[in-house]
Chains A and B, each alone.
Chain A
Amino acid sequence: MKNEIICISCPLGCYLTVNHNQNKLKNVIGNRCSLGLNYAKKEILNPERTLTTTVKVSNGNLPLVSVKTSQPIPKNKIFSAMKLLAKIKIDAPVEIGEKIIQNIFDTNANVIATKNIIKMKK
């Protein structure tokens, strides 16, 4: 089987042609670096993405704090993660890098804050 995919590992966005056979990678054409090779491998076997979204905050200078998964999680877990995060509300202050959920769905990824939120006086 032959798949045309775009490498998302960096903004160069190489167009990759991936030849594979029943989940086994045969070869990759078009990658400018080794990251592209790894990406193609994963994309065929178990595609993963970093999830970036927001979580509600109370008493903060903003009503939301931006968050991300500390490492990519399986693509098929993205929507369940969104559902889980929609239910959460945390208290200000929040510090950039702070853990909000540990090891989400046993993926080994933590959900961490990507922004500082200051606590506002009432």
Chain B
Amino acid sequence: MIKLSDILFREVALVIIGGGPAGLAAAISAKKNGIRDLIIIERNDWLGGILPQCIHDGFGIEIFDEALTGPEYAQRFIDELNLLEIPYMLNSMALEITLDKNVYVASPEGLFCFKAKAIILAMGCRERTRGQICIPGTRPAGVYTAGVAQNLINLKNMMVGKNIVILGSGDVGMIMARRLTLEGAKVHAVVEILPHTNGLPRNHQQCLIDYEIPLLLSHTVTEIQGRNRVNSVTISPVNKELESIKLNQRKITCDTLLLSVGLIPENELSKTSNVKLNPVTGGAFVDENLETSVSGVFACGNVLHVHDVVDFVTLEAERAGKSASLYIFGKQTKSKRIRVEAGSGIRYILPNFISKKTDIEMSLRVKHPGEQVSIGFFDGKKLLKTKKFRKVHPAQMIKIKLKESETRAIKTLKVRVLQ
């Protein structure tokens, strides 16, 4: 039993939960906006979140105009954090956020209760597992999520297998297909249930096409065989409803199956504080200040919605840090807000609420890939703005700016793909 006297109480203006790229950028921005009394809580024994294991390049093009690797990108922010003397706690897990913004943290120094004025949620996301997608068959060794395999190979010098099948063509899966090939393994196929890849087109080119790794679209893994270790998997085509069909099934002999079947925001903690979550993104509903349904609690990065490009995580987190500091200084202006709705063809759009008082950048994803697609913003039946794209892809986040002058007089706002 933990006694009340065992808990270490601390008052602090701002608690940032998660020390990945989102948490780092949010902390740096809050400090630069005048918050001196802040702390980052990180459960790992390092800062940088997922980045130290993402050794491939392609990070930072937007912000630094350079193609950095994950660890290099993280180091730039860690250096700045240290320069600004922002405190952080490693090996420390935030366990609960109460309604009055107390954050309970288990750390090697004991159980802390931070009484915060504001909180930034920056917990990132986690990978979907076999259980969540229900593949029948035996439970042999040799089934990994792509991120776990990436961690083992890139940080621990442990090879996961020799003959590999990858289920899911998300970015992590495609990047691992290349990595495993470079390390001498044979990747027999990347199997994708959708009729298109689920990751960035550039990864399709440089990870699969470059190494002639077969991509099987509209297929899925329907069974895993093997007693102690995977020895084969059954691949089946799927119909339009994404149900597997018995026709043309085949077995691929392999010793390892990697799963790259999606990421889900890590929001167990947010639920304890009553933050309302959007079932589509798995992240919080937020307004243009990235404030959640609980006042003084902000969200940014992959815990809000899964990003494909880390630069956008950083930019979003900088805004969250600034908003939190305005909130703490009592300078935030509360005004009436309207809801932003995602119409046909749009999977989601953020922010979910806008005040119509400033220019804003909307982030959205389409449901299906397409060419020559126009996206329209409507107030009821009135078309406010359209933007045309040569190609759109669900894996690529689209950003569209709305000017204050365009939204000032509207009553409702709905976004949809125009036919």
Which residues from chain A sit less than 8 Å from chain B, CB to CB?
5-8, 10-15, 30, 49-54, 56, 62-64, 66, 68, 75, 78-79, 82, 96, 114-116
Beta-carbon contact of A75 and B210 below 8 Å: yes
The B40-61 residues at the A interface (CB cut-off 8 A) are: 52, 55-58, 61
Complex Cα–Cα for A11 and B52 (A): 20
CB < 8 Å: which of A6, A15, A52 contacts B69?
A52
Minimum Cβ distance to chain B for residue A50 (Å): 5
CB < 8 Å: which of B56, B154, B390 contacts A30?
B390
Residue interface mask B198-220, A partner, CB < 8 A = 1: 00111011100110000000000
Complex Cα–Cα for A114 and B153 (A): 16
Q: Is B223 an interface residue (CB 8 A)?
A: no
Minimum Cβ distance to chain B for residue A85 (Å): 10
List chain B residues, Cβ under 8 A from A96: 71-72, 75
Beta-carbon contact of A114 and B55 below 8 Å: yes
Beta-carbon contact of A68 and B57 below 8 Å: yes
Contact-size category for B: 20 to 34
Q: Is B182 an interface residue (CB 8 A)?
A: yes
Q: Of all chain B residues, which has the CB nearest A82?
A: B182
List chain B residues, Cβ under 8 A from A14: 391
Q: Is B155 an interface residue (CB 8 A)?
A: yes
Beta-carbon contact of B182 and A78 below 8 Å: yes
List chain A residues, Cβ under 8 A from B200: 11, 13
List chain B residues, Cβ under 8 A from A78: 182
CB < 8 Å: which of A10, A15, A56, A64 contacts B155?
A64
Beta-carbon contact of A52 and B55 below 8 Å: yes
Beta-carbon contact of A63 and B396 below 8 Å: no
Q: Of all chain B residues, which has the CB nearest A57?
A: B157
Q: Is B96 an interface residue (CB 8 A)?
A: no
**A8-B182 contact given A54-B154, A64-B154, CB 8 Å threshold:** no
A sample of 28 inter-chain contacts (CB < 8 A) reads A6-B202, A6-B204, A6-B205, A6-B209, A11-B58, A11-B202, A11-B308, A11-B309, A13-B201, A15-B201, A15-B391, A30-B390, A49-B206, A51-B182, A52-B55, A54-B55, A54-B157, A64-B154, A64-B155, A66-B52, A66-B154, A68-B55, A79-B182, A114-B55, A114-B69, A114-B71, A115-B52, A115-B72
Minimum Cβ distance to chain A for residue B393 (Å): 8
Residue interface mask B177-204, A partner, CB < 8 A = 1: 0000011000000000000000011101
Q: Is B294 an interface residue (CB 8 A)?
A: no
CB < 8 Å: which of B157, B202, B391, B396 contacts A8?
B202
Minimum Cβ distance to chain A for residue B392 (Å): 11
List chain A residues, Cβ under 8 A from B75: 96, 115-116
List chain B residues, Cβ under 8 A from A50: 57, 67
CB < 8 Å: which of A8, A10, A116 contacts B206?
A8
Q: Is B381 an interface residue (CB 8 A)?
A: no
CB < 8 Å: which of A75, A82, A115 contacts B71?
A115
Beta-carbon contact of A52 and B201 below 8 Å: no
Beta-carbon contact of A13 and B154 below 8 Å: no
Q: Is B401 an interface residue (CB 8 A)?
A: no
List chain B residues, Cβ under 8 A from A82: 182-183
Q: Known pairs A52-B57, A78-B182. 13 more at Cβ < 8 A?
A: A7-B202, A10-B61, A10-B202, A11-B62, A11-B396, A52-B56, A54-B154, A54-B157, A79-B182, A82-B182, A82-B183, A115-B72, A115-B75
